Amino acid sequence: MLKAFIERALRRQEEATGESVDYLRDLHAAAPGALWRFVCFLPMSRFRKSLPLEAHAVARIAAVHAEDCGPCLQTVVNLMTAAGVAPQTLRAAVTRDLTAMDERTRTVFEFAEAIVHRDIRSEELRPLIEGWWGKAAMADLALAIASTRVFPTVKRVMGYGQACSRVTIGQETLRAELTKPQPA
């Protein structure tokens, strides 16, 4: 009965994200306790209280793009599309088109990139973001960036890492390649 419950939950996750969760099936088969610990982590990955949705989306895309440019990136795009993020915002983040973002969204995107690449520029950007939305928004960003990076890591360790692939936003397919921003 528990096995059937787990399989139904995994299928619902696949339906919600549009991507396979076979890595979680393997995690459960190898160590059921590991899957339960992972499930306890999931609420952290969904937390957002103070940060605007577009800013949250581009931060997650910047973070996952630093780790993966395949199924995890597509999953984030799918989830953000379902949450109501405009396709042009998602496209700008996936292709790193900074000119297509408004100032605040661009600043959050650049901040997230600076954080994941350990770039000191994050120290210049943090006060701007905190000034706009407060310390609570920084907490949102911390959890969004940190949690987004977990999924590609777990997938790769479980043998589900993939090379760069195309990402679909609406009816448009874009090439997604890992890129490291050049210092400003």
In a domain, 56, yes or no: yes
φ and ψ at residue 56, rounded to 5 degrees: -60, -45
Q: What is the pLDDT of residue 181?
A: 57
Q: What is the pTM of this model?
A: 0.86
In a domain, 183, yes or no: no
In a domain, 123, yes or no: yes
In a domain, 49, yes or no: yes
Residue 50 DSSP symbol = S
pLDDT tens profile 61-101:
999 988 876 788 888 999 999 999 999 999 999 999 999 99
In a domain, 181, yes or no: no
In a domain, 180, yes or no: no
> Does 179 have pLDDT greater than 70?
no
Give percent of the chain above pLDDT 90. 61
pLDDT tens profile 114-134:
999 999 999 999 999 999 999
In a domain, 18, yes or no: yes
Count structural domains, the chain. Answer: 1
φ and ψ at residue 12, rounded to 5 degrees: -65, -40
CATH number for the domain that contains residue 129 = 1.20.1290.10
- Domain membership of residue 20 as a residue range: 2-175
pLDDT tens profile 130-159:
999 999 999 999 999 999 889 888 988 898
The mean pLDDT of 30-38, rounded to a whole number, is 93
In a domain, 182, yes or no: no
Among 54, 110, 47, smallest CA distance to 81 is for: 54
